Amino acid sequence: AQSVAQPEDQVNVAEGNPLTVKCTYSVSGNPYLFWYVQYPNRGLQFLLKYITGDNLVKGSYGFEAEFNKSQTSFHLKKPSALVSDSALYFCAVVSYYGNNRLAFGKGNQVVVIP
Amino acid sequence: DSGVTQTPKHLITATGQRVTLRCSPRSGDLSVYWYQQSLDQGLQFLIQYYNGEERAKGNILERFSAQQFPDLHSELNLSSLELGDSALYFCASSFRDRDTNEQFFGPGTRLTVL
């Protein structure tokens, strides 16, 4: 079974500072990794995904994520946070092989302070 | 706008009642997923349909059922409602039946059971 850990409940960052949201995963075989964002009173929105290839994946709204196989991590990053980035961020993983279910983390609340 | 629509947006009902939530997937998407989001349980996968057939079941209670119709819209039926069923219910869609593809989420239906 696959699983995701998002260790921090809330990440506070000042506007303009770098933003990092951490995610570690556990999966059998090669992983597909995803980041989704949920703004207040909205559904989840797809940000980016890692399939294979370059470990640095670029996504929507200036976000990127770095896949690190040895550390089984897929941290989400943004060089300069905006107040509008305040939202709930979900990491998710599924194994490439088999008909496995996507496993979501519990989510991280990001608060960008003006 | 993800292209996934859900109705109604809000639903308030009493314990013991039955409700139906409706979802229309993005044009061309064949898979529909249902999720429940609550503060204590986080985001829980309930059930998936692909082209009218049930593909996977998650943490779905026996009091809950779903179906996908020939026009690919889906309905989630919740019966004998309990206070603990109060949550946000999301529908998501994707083109294929595997979780390795990104999912597109609707805005959700907020269910309140009094």
pLDDT, one tens digit per residue, over B61-72 is: 999 999 999 999
Q: Do B43 and A32 touch (CB under 8 A)?
A: no
| pLDDT of residue A9 exceeding 90 | no
Q: Do A46 and B102 touch (CB under 8 A)?
A: yes
| pLDDT of residue A1 exceeding 70 | yes
Q: Looking at beta carbons, which residues of chain A come within 8 Å of B43? A: 44, 90, 104, 106-107
Give the confidence band of B96 by pLDDT, cuts at 50, 70, 90.
confident
Cα distance between the two ends of chain B? 31
Q: Do A101 and B45 touch (CB under 8 A)?
A: yes
Q: Are B101 and A51 in contact (CB under 8 A)?
A: no
d(CA A41, CA A60): 20
CB proximity B103 to A under 8 Å: yes
CB proximity B38 to A under 8 Å: no
Q: How close B9 gets to chain A, by Cα (Å)?
A: 10
Q: Do A43 and B108 touch (CB under 8 A)?
A: yes
Question: How many beta-carbon pairs under 8 angstroms link A with B?
Answer: 48
pLDDT computed for residue A98 by the predictor: 63
Q: Do B90 and A44 touch (CB under 8 A)?
A: yes
Element (H, E) at A10: strand A10-14
| pLDDT of residue A72 exceeding 90 | yes
Identify the three-state secondary structure at position B79: coil
Cβ neighbours for A61, distance < 8 A, ≥ 6 positions apart = A37, A47, A78, A85
pLDDT computed for residue A52 by the predictor: 84
Q: Which of A42, A102, A104 sits opposite B107 (nearest CB)?
A: A42
